[in-house]
Structure 1
């Protein structure tokens, strides 16, 4: 399939493809994801390492065969936003060996980084070894995109810092993320900005997506009023938000997003105040909706999920 995708559209499609084959082996995912890449982004993009998994985490590397590579980190699979908010791993911040002095990330980020660094690809027809050894063996001074959606986007910002400071054989490292929660403290955000802003790094977020509101105080506080005219957060979600705010305060922690960002204006799926807040959260957060908000046609998105539809093509979920 011929593609005229821009960089953001390529990145969001690569990120969406990472969710395919959730219950399959990595070998089956390899086949399914490669077919999806051919049917969507096209232009020779295919998997050259992975997909590899460790625990609940997944990473793959794709290339267009013309000197461009992409490291893609899958986001967490979740249905309940309160479970994400109550992730106790944000109650502690730690430093990582490749970060500058004072830059810290959540304990949860450190745990996922440990998984990513330990991943080994063993899919027939794909590159082998660890992610780092594979990337270090690349020749021709290629460019490297690092991307992901949701917690995959959060991790992409950290993985980009790791690869920028480690790889000497690539011409550039460019992080582009979608729906990403905050990875670290103000020093981490400042270090990320100074490293990547001039290169064109970008964080995309849907204004109706709750997940990018995590873990800043301003973002957490906004969750209660995110869907004016739509479903409202119930006591369980409000309790989870209160727990998160109390945790940040009691541990004297601050999280800050990188400065370079682009907002995407979403539209409510649900109208009225009775239907589930959590369903609206899931609808607004999906990588497929980010594809749509970035201008990718619905027929192309249907190559990944034939049942998906934007709000304008869904019967209003109104009550009464």
Structure 2
């Protein structure tokens, strides 16, 4: 089967609360409410369901023209790792026995949904798929620092698995949400490679969880392991113009001329900092600025070099670039940024 968008599945905990009327609990009823009745923009910004839509929107916005956050509800599936609901006071988490009893059904659900991207939310979501599916050696476009991002195999094709804290916990905001832009670039790269049948060319090893994570050598290293026909738009291979809008004002290094060490733990540097670094290394500011879209974002650039813009109240308008993209640019230009 072909499809134009990446299939995204969230694997969460239990539902917390549920309707008592069985008519309102059917799959058809729940889907109708989500697609027609849910007011996404009216949801509490720091609660689970809003953050779920926000992450889906972030991962999908490169694939849908003029995409809006409230439209994300039409483009992802959501699976609970505990199917029953105890309706505990205050939506307290269900008892462990529910998760233990339901866990064996999750892999079959995922095989039917056949995702390209899986986001697990919290401990029980992770345990539902951990060491169940074969795990591939991560490709070079997934940084080692992003230990929460893995590549597994479902239905004989690669799937990006992003392991997150449940959005109600602080860890989600301090670790996962700060990595949104990196997740976005990883998904874009995955789908670009799949569209051209170049996901993991001549992959020689596969990490197989149910064999104690032993690395098994492939018998035939002259063939691509996974190929999957996709009807993808060819704009992933094209350059882009304009800016991306930041959902939240980012933290970034305080130094005007940040070193690589200064950038550890951050996702962005400002465009001014990027140009400062280049100038300090005897490069012209305009050249590096143009390599990231120019002053007005009207110069076509590779998607990872597209600048991010903040224009909301509360902070001065500012442009940012991904540190990973800056590091790659300097490396390709033969500039020794330390």
Q: Provide the TM-score with structure 1 as the length reference.
A: 0.27
Q: Provide the TM-score with structure 2 as the length reference.
A: 0.26
| Larger radius of gyration between Structure 1 and Structure 2 | 2
